[in-house]
Structure 1
């Protein structure tokens, strides 16, 4: 990771690249409308770039003393190189700045890589949402609910 990483607030101009990133990274990607709504609502929305190339993005909702990580994505060719951890720590820092004392997230039960990343970064499982996510077979997959004290 010798090239400079740049974290920047997500802008409307970023949405084409963000939506493309979502489509290549997620089986059920967030839509352009969801990202636009998040920006309009003032959610803490971030992009991560390296040498001008979008590597990942995240959207965080901070309300009262809680924060909720709504989406965090690292493009496939950049995964496994520590960028997800850097992006996660960036949004954790933003949640702290917003006076949040804890952060919540949901992750697919089948996404063991993400669960391991969250566990290494201080998140622990606090529950399960049955049938929360759609899956490729038209069925539903559980979400693991995780929390981290900030």
Structure 2
């Protein structure tokens, strides 16, 4: 699996993977277009397998001494392979190179695998945003946990 900077030609694949990974409230292709247009403050990376298939992506907002993870997604068929950790570690590297001393993110309170990934990488819960995410079945919205990690 190879990590590289995301480019304009990746947008269709990113949008398709986004819809599979986040069917309740996916980002639109226009949102990803705006994210890539926000470079150099925005930094996006894609994971591509040996045959050129998009396996995941991740994005970061570099805003001085604090960076924000905008998104991380791994193809559902490839979850559990360590790819999410590789993408997250790449974002940490980019954040540090951009001068950040810490990284923050938001995660759905009901996303156990993502919460485990972030905890394993040193993230701590700062606060909860009640009802931040839409639910899939019309039940009450899901809380967001705001997490922070200090970079070495």
TM range (shorter): over 0.9
Unaligned runs of 5+ in 2: none
TM-aligned CA deviation for residue 41 of structure 1:
1.1
Question: Which among 3, 15, 20 is matched to residue 19 of structure 1?
Answer: 15
Post-superposition Cα deviations, 1:63-112, rounded to whole Å, max 9, x if no partner, equal 01000001000010010111100111011100001010000000000001
Unaligned runs of 5+ in 1: none
Aligned-partner Cα distance in 2 for 1:90–1:143: 23
Aligned-partner Cα distance in 2 for 1:81–1:41: 30
Q: Give the 3-state SS of the residue equivalent to 1:126 in structure 2.
A: strand
Aligned-partner Cα distance in 1 for 2:97–2:64: 12
- Report the aligned-residue RMSD: 0.9
Q: Give the 3-state SS of the residue equivalent to 2:91 in structure 1.
A: helix
Q: Give the 3-state SS of the residue equivalent to 1:145 in structure 2.
A: strand
Aligned-partner Cα distance in 1 for 2:3–2:80: 19
TM-aligned CA deviation for residue 50 of structure 1:
1.5
Q: Give the 3-state SS of the residue equivalent to 2:136 in structure 1.
A: coil
1:44 aligns with 2:40: no
TM-aligned CA deviation for residue 137 of structure 1:
2.9
| Structure 1 partner of 2:96 | 96
Structure 1 runs (4+) greater than 6 angstroms displaced: none
| Structure 2 partner of 1:125 | 125
Aligned-partner Cα distance in 2 for 1:65–1:31: 29
TM-aligned CA deviation for residue 53 of structure 1:
1.5
- State the TM-score, normalizing by the size of structure 1: 0.94
Post-superposition Cα deviations, 1:16-73, rounded to whole Å, max 9, x if no partner, equal 1101111111122111111100111111011011112111001100101000001000
